[in-house]
Amino acid sequence: MKWQEEGVILSVRQHGETSAVVSLLTRPHGRHAGIVRVSSRNRSILQPGNSVQAQWSARLPEHLGSFQLELVHSPIARIMTDSLRLTAMTSLLTMLDRLLAERHPYPPVYDMTIALMQKLTEADASWLKDYALFELRLLEILGYGLDLSQCAATGRQDDLAYVSPKSGCAVNREAGLPYASKLFALPKFIISEDEQTADVSDIAQSLKISGYFLAKHFFHSILPDHRTRLSQILNTLY
């Protein structure tokens, strides 16, 4: 049993004295693990975030199998001195490794991940907005998307200003005002394509919303450390 695809390394875990279990995200095979024999020649390749050409082989499809990996490019090497971007990329990789069902194909997630990782290496500051939207889209793909189409209380579609932490639904400003302290403020860029940019406070608020529902549905109310660190860094910027 064999296949060959390009993928992104999500995690590397030591396996015995001379091997590692590599978790790889590919378009047709989703999150897929395999054993790699570690040597001085490939040690630098085995870094989360690296894009690799992978060949997986196993005697039977259900076996863990082994990888042969060749480096395509290393986006994480281009952001090592930028703590915010580095934290965002590490958060991205960690969450994908923990959220995605093994060997289940998620073509949209793969495409979104490649696009976001490319944005993270560019000078354009809009990557923060893309990261925030990525988390909301990921929730949707995993079956826990927010319903921001209309007010949960009145059915109105205008002046949506809040998100309910109980239902994940939008709430109109007028209907939600008496309960504002118990609701999440809804950044405009999430629901309006006319909002081409978003300030840091809006990004932080969006991550507060997506982080809450990610923690609630997948992480037993405690987000991974790198994801928590990302929010902490953003909260110091405004």
Between the CA atoms of 5, 6, 11 and 14, what dihedral angle is there, to the nearest 10 degrees? 60
- Cβ of 213: how many Cβ atoms within 10 Å? 19
Q: Are 65 and 34 in contact (CB under 8 A)?
A: yes
Q: Kindly tell me if the per-residue pLDDT of 195 is higher than 70.
A: no
Average pLDDT over residues 213-231: 97
Comparing 41-45, 93-97, 195-199, 218-222, the range with the smallest average pLDDT is 195-199
- The H helix count followed by the E strand count for the chain is 7, 9
Q: Determine the angle formed by the axes of helices 127-141 and 200-218, rounding to 10 degrees.
A: 20
SS3 21: strand
Closest by CA to 187, choosing from 168, 169, 207, is: 207
Backbone angles phi, psi at 119, to 5 degrees: -60, -35
Q: From residue 144, how far is each of 52, 139, 213 by CA, in Å?
A: 31, 5, 8
Q: From residue 98, how far is each of 77, 91, 223, 224, 235 by CA, in Å?
A: 23, 11, 11, 9, 25
pLDDT, tens only, 58-95: 999 889 999 999 999 999 889 999 999 999 999 999 99
Q: Kindly tell me if the per-residue pLDDT of 193 is higher than 80.
A: no
Domains in the chain, ordered, with CATH? 2-76 (2.40.50.140), 124-235 (no CATH)
- Which residues share a beta bridge with 14? 20
Average pLDDT over residues 154-165: 96
